[in-house]
């Protein structure tokens, strides 16, 4: 069993579709081991996305991620990182496969409804950014 980290981003929480996204997560067989709704400050978003700080979209990304609440989830499934990336679909919704969350719900490459870890190592880092050990069941 392995874990990954997911976020439901401000665009999706604002549109009140977080329940639909969580339903898809559960229907796909993920076990949610931690979940909370939080408002990131700009500094929080800059820290979370520090690996992207040299990218041209860093300012846009961190302002977007701190404009309204997000839902953070830690979830478990065999090969969880790859399984969640498959269910999310491509970063750019124009390239996302039918049936994926981003194909159905993302507005643009920036406001793309959900985030997912890209490796087991980053999943552990991202889960511990949001959850301490007793918040994970
Ligand atoms: P995420 O999986 O959260 O990781 C980094 C995020 O940067 C990505 O999803 C996108 O939301 C965002 N991103 C990537 N490329 C661009 C881009 N060209 N313009 C704006 N945002 C982007």
Q: Which residues line ligand 1 (CB under 6 A)?
A: 52, 57, 60-61, 91, 109-110, 112, 115
Q: How many structural domains compose the chain? A: 1
Tell me if 61 is assigned to some domain: no
Mean pLDDT of 69-95: 98
- Residues placed in the known binding site for ATP: 9, 57, 85, 91, 102, 112
**Residue 53 domain-assigned?**
no
Residue 72 and residue 131 in contact, taking contact as beta carbons nearer than 8 Å: yes
Query: What pLDDT shows up at residue 137?
Result: 86
Give me the domain span that covers residue 131: 2-39+70-135
Choose among 6, 35, 66, 12: nearest CA to 136.
Answer: 35
Ligand 1 center to residue 136 CA distance, Å?
27
| Burial of 58 from C-beta contacts in 10 A (0-12 / 13-18 / 19+) | middle
Residue 7, in any domain of the structure = yes
pLDDT band per the 50, 70, 90 thresholds, residue 109: very high
Do the domain assignments include residue 93?
A: yes
In the 8-state DSSP scheme, what is residue 75? Answer: E
Please report, for the domain that includes residue 117, its CATH number: 3.30.70.141
Substitution site in 7, 60, 105, 112 for ligand 1 pocket (most atoms within 8 Å of beta carbon):
112
Nearest to 7 by CA among 32, 43, 42, 27: 32
Q: Residue 122 class from Cβ within 10 Å (0-12 exposed, 13-18 middle, 19+ buried)?
A: middle
- Taking only the tens place, the pLDDT of each residue in 124-137 is 999 999 999 999 88
| Residue 129, both tokens | 């950014």
pLDDT at 136: 86
Closest CA to 33 of 73, 72, 1, 71: 73
Percent of the chain with pLDDT over 70: 100
């Amino acid at each position: 069993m392995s874990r990954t980290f997911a976020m439901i981003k401000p665009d999706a929480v604002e549109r009140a579709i977080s329940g639909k996204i969580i339903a898809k997560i559960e229907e796909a067989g993920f076990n949610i081991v931690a979940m909370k709704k939080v408002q990131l400050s700009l500094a929080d978003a800059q820290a979370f996305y520090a690996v992207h700080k040299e990218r041209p979209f860093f300012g846009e990304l961190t302002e977007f991620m701190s404009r309204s609440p997000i839902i953070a989830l830690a979830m478990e499934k065999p090969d969880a990182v790859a399984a969640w990336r498959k269910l999310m679909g491509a970063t750019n919704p124009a390239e996302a496969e039918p049936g994926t969350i981003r194909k159905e719900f993302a507005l643009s490459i920036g406001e793309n409804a959900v985030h997912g870890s890209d490796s087991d190592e980053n999943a552990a880092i991202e889960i511990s950014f949001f959850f301490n050990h007793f918040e994970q069941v």
